[in-house]
Amino acid sequence: MQPPDELMSGEFLPAVRQLVAVRLRSEGLSQGKIASLLGVTQASVSLYLSSREEKAYSSLARFSVRKDEADRYAAVLAEDARRSAAYAVETLGNIWSSILGKGLACDAHRRAYPALASCDVCIRGFERRSDVRSGTISEVSQAVREIEASPAFVKAMPEVSVNLACVSGDSEFPEDVVAIPGRIVKVKESARAMHQPEFGASSHLSKMLLLVRTRRKELRAALNLRYDREMARVLSKLGLRALKIGKYSESGPGDATVNALARRLELGGATFDVVVDEGGRGIEPNVYLFGKNAVEVARLGIRVAAAYSMG
């Protein structure tokens, strides 16, 4: 038996870890801190940092991952690792599952094990399921197409990239929320989704959305944009009322941003249209927009981005 897990642990994961380690080091983290975040030894981190990055890019190219995609994965996973180990593992798992489901690991797997020449287990096992929830998939797909067609949207995207999440029906469970595996990223001067929308593809944004729905049940969709002084001015100009999460620590169990939002909602207070996350150490500030459906929140995001791009 030769499952694709061997490719994951032997080639894909080491390459990704190296690029994430390089990214975290460029952000000023020590080797010891990086080792802690990645769950490896400090000696391994030292080896990652002293090795040529081209080796990692070459390994990932075997799975049809381009250099720009690899760099974006590293940026997203570095941010996720700072938030929580479980969150980073989930994101990594979503990325790998998408690669398997699209058959992008098949050539490497078949070269290593010629007896698997006719195997399509991963494609059948990980492909997007067509079921009664497919309407939510279609809804998010349309929203993503509108975002990708907007020339202004990319101007308001944060370094950690953008995700768009939409809950199916009135569910209160993260596994019933559709999002984009790998997120929506910057490709030159455009916004592009890394993969097709899937259920359970974003733990962080799903939890943020479901928390907000405890106060505003009519909201089914959310997306994030960058936050700075100019964005604060734009939100005010557009009349969007903000609920702010102040500076907070990334330490402790779970997702620090989600925990901060939960604490803030417990305090009650004024009605809000957006949630402003002012960030914390190692966590980029973001604003979270909400809508009654995926297309509505996408159009709101495009409107906000257009105003932001005009300065």
Split the chain (311 residues) into runs of 10 and give each run's mean pLDDT: 83 95 93 94 95 93 88 85 80 83 84 81 63 74 94 92 91 86 87 88 91 92 96 96 80 77 83 88 88 96 96 74
Structure tokens at 110: 């078949």
Instruction: Give the pLDDT confidence score for residue 51 in this predicted structure.
Output: 93
In residues, how long is the chain?
311
Could you please report the per-residue DSSP string of 59-101?
HHHTTT--HHHHHHHHHHHHHHHHH-HHHHHHHHHHHHHHHHH
Instruction: Give the pLDDT confidence score for residue 311 in this predicted structure.
Output: 74
The domain ranges of the chain are 5-126, 134-309
Q: Which CATH architecture has domain 134-309?
A: 3-Layer(aba) Sandwich (3.40)
Question: Burial of 192 by CB count in 10 Å (0-12 exposed, 13-18 middle, 19+ buried)?
Answer: middle
Instruction: Give the pLDDT confidence score for residue 129 in this predicted structure.
Output: 46
